[in-house]
A and B are shown apart, each in its own frame.
Chain A
Amino acid sequence: MITADIIKQHGLTPGEYDHILKIMGREPTMVELGVFSVMWSEHCSYKSSRVYLKKLPTKGKQVICGPGENAGIVDIGDGLAVIFKMESHNHPSMIEPYQGATTGVGGILRDIFTMGARPIALLNSLRFGNPSHPKTKHLVSGVVAGIAGYGNCMGIPTVGGEVYFDDCYNGNILVNAMCVGVVRKDRIFYAKAAGVGNPVIYVGSKTGRDGIHGATMASDVFDETSEQKRPHVQVGDPFTEKLLMEACLELFRGKDVVGIQDMGAAGLTCSSLEMAGKGGVGIDMDLSSVPLREEKMTPYEIMLSESQERMLLVSRKGSEKRILKLFEKWDLDAAVVGKVVKGDTVKVLMNGQLHGTIPTMPITEEAPCYNRPVKKPKYLEKVRRVDWASLLPSPPAPLPHNVGEGAFDDILKKLLASPTIASKRWVYRQYDHMVGTNTAVLPGSDAAVVRIKEPHTEGKLTKKGLAMTSDCNSRYVYLNPRRGAAIAVAEAARNIACSGGRPLAVTDCLNFASPEDPEIMWQFREALRGISEACVALGTPIISGNVSFYNQSPETAIFPTPTIGMIGLLDDVSQHCTQWFKDEGDIVVLLGSPNSSEKDFGGTEFVKMMTGQVIGDAPALNLKKERALQNLCIEGIKKGWIRSAHDCSEGGLAVALAECCMTGPQMLGADVDLGQKQDYSPLKTMANLFAETQSRILITIKECHLQSLLKAARLKKVSAKKIGSVAGKSLQINDLVDIPVKELEMAWSSGFEKGVFGQE
């Protein structure tokens, strides 16, 4: 008997249940109800976001496969393709940081190797609450150790990412994991069942009771009772996943596999229904053959378990023995659990008894789809109305009115020491970022660069390299969802360009609060507009992604955080570029606007530090100018003119200059003239130093190439201005800043641990 209580426990609305009754023509069994519940959860069905996701630009001549599969695929030539995706694991990580993060990494890795690719790199984008919040220390330690624990054991290098801190994440952290894989174009596999009579084979770990209803949990808000959901969090086993990956990749070299799908959210349910649905066939599942970890598991539990490190595949008839033997070689469980049949239903049988008959088409095609109400948030007007002149120089943080030698030294040092800007060495030192010997540019530059060789190439040859990054400054998105989200795309592409790569395609991980709040839905709609506009302008289609709603705590909603993961292509991986200064005497050139104004103060780290507030409007962005700037940078690197290139982002020009001085193998100073004039107001001076004006890249170049570069800049209508040279052991900016690089480095390298752990 299905009661109203049971329906509610399954996260279904009365309206949704009525629809289920209509589809089934009768009361569903418990197994069927459980299946509908997960398949129609926000997490699996995208019911609140589908109307907007459909409008995203997903096409391009480089795209082999866009959204809708486990991950997106992009052609990179030489018979190879790159497969990548980013996914969130926010709710589990908040409840149980270590396991939440490991299973996030494990899940995204499976999405990549399910399609035939060998993963080549991992990235992650993390958001924590205020560094001084009592939970932050524990969450940072747990999440970082979890990511390390899984990626290191798998032998996939974690090469990049980002870590931000803001109060809005105190009760709901974000853990977004991205994986990039390389595949031979003729060995791509899809999640599609075909061929009546073909066996359905279960491979990998045994099924236990862990993670039942994980997807439903991820579709609910956080409250006082969320901690009690700890048993919903799955437990990861990277060693089994490593074996599963090697076994699958070995299997893919043969001709036995017809289709394959990993068991992620909603495990056996999701994988069988998706494969049958996509193939236009039915599947008869016999749960009696599923390898179980625990005794007396019910069909309901088996179908909904989210035990990790499992795959479901359809193979050619007659290949069963070969496949079982291959998995035995890798000490993994494998069992034939069903077969492909004519029709359009998945039948669930156990011990000869029928426990459910689920129609594949309506469950996906008639899944609820909501066009939820939207309303422009009230807070926007309040946060954008700022009188900078009266706000900034006022107590408790007075600013020097009498600009004199080194007047801004302390501010610069404090900015470098803020955990959001400070060195993330404490984090990436725990990640094996070199295993595979492909990482040409290690963490700590604008984008990581990896080369492509065996075993990823599987017999093909290439000189190409991949640049990769993830970006999102959620403060900008909070202040102006549309522009802020466009900036996230622009900055990701800029980071790629700074490494010498041509931006290729995007994966997005859209983290928002409750879609049932019209103001949040407005943020969502606007952010997606911004992403679309930027992706079209920069020629980077969106090929995969993930939506995570309900990121909020009783205190507050998170800032809208549409994380952008981007891949760029280098034709010759040896031609990559890094952010740090290379040699004394090199000329420092600023590409992009040399002039900032108070308009660019909105959402900056500087303002947050001085006032404790996230206020103003997101900095202006001109996408046409942005593209021209990036093209100039890419050309300059390819021609061999540009010796270092660094994007100006959080902390503005002064912080970017400091980073160029101290992040390389040797510390180098610089003598910089920003064209500071006597009559500049303190506000204007501060803007030039610390405002986060968009579309700017700091480069260095040899004197002999300066004229060629300036000429190329004129042709592309990009502002390029010589602002100084690499010299000495101090960073000097007019008479505003004068600090030994060593001092800058001390502030920057110890800031993270001091801020988060209260120690050096």
Chain B
Amino acid sequence: MKFGVIVFPGSNCDWDSYHVVTNVLKQKGQFVWHKETKLPRLDAVVVPGGFSYGDHLRTGAIARFSPVMNEVVKFAKAGGRVIGICNGFQILTEAGLLPGVLMRNRDLKFICETVSIEVANHRTAFTKNYEKQARLRMPIAHGEGNYFADGETLRRLEGDGRVVFRYAPVNPNGSQNDIAGIINEAGNVLGMMPHPERCAEVMLGNEDGRKVFESIIS
């Protein structure tokens, strides 16, 4: 399988995602510069974490105007699998591929630590290798991960089983309904604040995130 990893000015988890895809899971990977106006042939797109455009204006708000995002939207609309991690999730909401917004954390501080999350839906293209309601340990590292959507959107997300990951038992950032990750209606676009690429190797003492990528591959 071939993964494209989008590189915006300020992306800083691009190499981490690329490393997991290529060195750990032995798939093909390619970096895609944000000024590209055409995507190469890809099976999946990773919109990685970082501080695209330095978080100026609002997280993800400027990155979504990068030329490559038109192509990512087209790719998603055609059914291609897209995973946005952390800043990637923020960009996908700004680009309209996922509903809601990520606001400043409840206590207004950046939080980096390993938290406990639950697989809220294990029947998705991104979680099918996990057990039902599996409890995972995954690092978060963000200042704006506090998920917010209007009541109607939330009801639909919950009703359609589109909440994929939930913080449990502790909600670190104030997200509504403890939401840590959601998918789009078609089920081919995932956005999540925790970093599965940071916990996919024995060396780092935690492999809980590996199955997110394995689910995409299998």
Contacts and interface: CB of A to CB of B under 8 A. Distances in A.
Given A432-B141, A437-B204, A455-B15, A242 B10 contact: yes
B12 to A, nearest CB: 2
B16 A435 contact: yes
User: Size band of the B side of the interface?
Assistant: 20 to 34
Given A430-B111, A432-B112, A434-B198, A239 B51 contact: yes
B110 interface: yes
Interface string A553-594: 000000000000000000001100000000000000000000
Given A154-B12, A155-B50, A430 B198 contact: no
Interface string A108-149: 000000000000000000000000000000000000010010
User: Size band of the A side of the interface?
Assistant: 20 to 34
Given A148-B110, A153-B55, A440 B12 contact: no
B56 interface: yes
B141 A436 contact: no
Output the residue of A154, A432, A437, A453 with the most chain B CB within 10 A.
A437
Contact of B10 (A239, A430, A435): A239
Interface in A427-473: 428-437, 439-440, 451, 453-455
B193 interface: no
A436 B139 CA distance: 13
Contacts of B9: 239, 242-243, 330-331
Given A155-B50, A429-B111, A574 B16 contact: no
Contacts of B195: 434
A152 interface: yes
B19 interface: yes
Interface string B1-19: 0000000011011011001
Contacts of A453: 19, 23
A240 B9 CA distance: 9
B15 A430 contact: no
Contacts of A433: 112
Interface string A309-337: 00000000000000000000111000000
Contacts of B201: 437
Contacts of A238: 51, 54
Contacts of A240: 54
A239 B198 contact: no
Interface string B181-215: 00000000000000101100101110000000000
Given A239-B54, A435-B141, A155 B19 contact: no
A429 B53 contact: no
Interface string A167-184: 000000000000000000
B131 interface: no
A524 B10 CA distance: 42
Contacts of B198: 434-435, 437
Contact of B54 (A153, A330, A440): A153
B113 interface: yes
B206 to A, nearest CB: 10
A425 B113 CA distance: 9
Contacts of B38: none
A673 interface: no
A455 B13 CA distance: 12
B19 A437 contact: yes
A432 B110 contact: yes
A454 B56 contact: no
Interface string A207-247: 00000000000000000000000000000011110110000
Interface string A35-69: 00000000000000000000000000000000000
Contacts of B143: 152
Nearest to A157: B112
Interface in B1-43: 9-10, 12-13, 15-16, 19-20, 23, 35
Contact of A454 (B15, B35, B51): B15
Contacts of B23: 453
Contacts of A155: 12-13, 50-51
B109 interface: yes
Nearest to A437: B16
A342 to B, nearest CB: 40
Contact of A440 (B20, B113, B204): B204
Contacts of A439: 204
A429 B55 contact: no
Contacts of A428: 112
Contact of B15 (A145, A425, A431, A436): A436
Nearest to B139: A434
Interface in B32-84: 35, 49-51, 53-56
Nearest to A453: B19
A627 B70 CA distance: 61
A573 B13 contact: no
Interface in A395-447: 425, 428-437, 439-440
Contacts of A243: 9-10
Interface in A175-217: none
A455 B15 CA distance: 7
Nearest to B201: A437
Given A239-B10, A435-B13, A435-B16, 7 more contacts: A155-B50, A155-B51, A242-B10, A242-B51, A431-B110, A433-B112, A435-B49
24 contacts: A153-B51, A153-B55, A155-B12, A155-B13, A238-B51, A239-B51, A239-B55, A242-B12, A329-B35, A429-B109, A429-B113, A430-B112, A431-B112, A433-B112, A434-B112, A435-B12, A435-B16, A435-B198, A436-B15, A437-B204, A440-B204, A440-B205, A573-B203, A574-B203
6 tightest CB-CB pairs across the interface, nearest first? A155-B12, A239-B54, A153-B51, A437-B16, A432-B141, A432-B112
